[in-house]
Structure 1
């Protein structure tokens, strides 16, 4: 009986329905062939977005006049605030935030994507005896939020309807 159930479960898993989210395979169809990014040259977020755009076949150009689309960064902030305290009044958890506000315009200046705000939050526990480990974990969480932010930007860029 158990064997039959296991075989039935295995058959159901193998046959799967084929459901797949749009863009979940990492392939995005951008509505433009080239884009200029408004990030500073040293921005890690800009570097990762540039790499991902090139991976999906979109040319990233430095001169906005040569680009079909212009990605403008209106604001990028990272924050850290106290989330909870322990009984002695010391910090137990922090809330890390990463916010990006941007818009996308075409070559003529028409707005393809209005100002868009993406805000990510992660909580991190704090132990005063392990300060270096906490700093490493914080850096890792910011890097994870950056990757998540890039994926959300790519999905929003792919959803733009050309004018």
Structure 2
């Protein structure tokens, strides 16, 4: 009986380890983007702050006002808006969507375009329940913060993929 349990456990462990699952690694930026500056995103804004941290984790060195040749990540548009998805019978909004829209491009050290203008739009939906009105603002803040973190990862993944 113990032998059967041991064999079943070993078989289960072998099957789970063979599924190919592995954690996502940090984005790997190409050599032309290892020295990079960010334009258009305030350093104190959530996007600017998180983008700087993520680029540093990816091995890029952030430069500001340096005479050394470097790439430039330009953020053109950075907007968050809330739209109504549905209205109930009482003429009040029941569902909302938060949309986060960012446009960016990357210029190389020589001023050439490394990554053409790209647009990323992420969205999250949430419902409004009048009986839970106090929690709606907290939920909206949480969803906005989640979108900001997801946007940084989407930008890095796009840079990694497009620069290949």
How many residues were matched structurally?
Answer: 158
Alignment match, 2:25: 25
Secondary structure of 1:66's aligned partner: coil
CA shift, 1:85, in A, is 1.5
Alignment match, 1:34: 35
CA RMSD of aligned residues (A): 2.5
Secondary structure of 2:148's aligned partner: helix
Pick one of 121, 141, 144 that aligns with 2:143: 141
- Runs of at least 4 residues off by over 6 Å: 2-5
Kindly tell me: are residues 64 and 82 of structure 1, through their superposed partners in 2, closer, same or farther at Cα, counting changes over 3 Å?
Answer: farther
More off after superposition, 106-115 vs 125-134: 125-134
Q: Report matched runs for 1:75-114 at 5 Å.
A: 75-114=77-116
Q: TM-score, normalised by structure 2?
A: 0.84
In structure 2, the gaps of 5 or more residues are none
- Can you list the C-alpha shifts for 1:78-114, whole angstroms capped at 9, x where unaligned? 1111101122121111011000001100122111111
Give yes or no for contact 2:29–2:163 (8 Å, CA) kept in 1: no
Distance between the aligned counterparts of 1:67 and 1:132, measured in 2? 51
In structure 1, the gaps of 5 or more residues are none
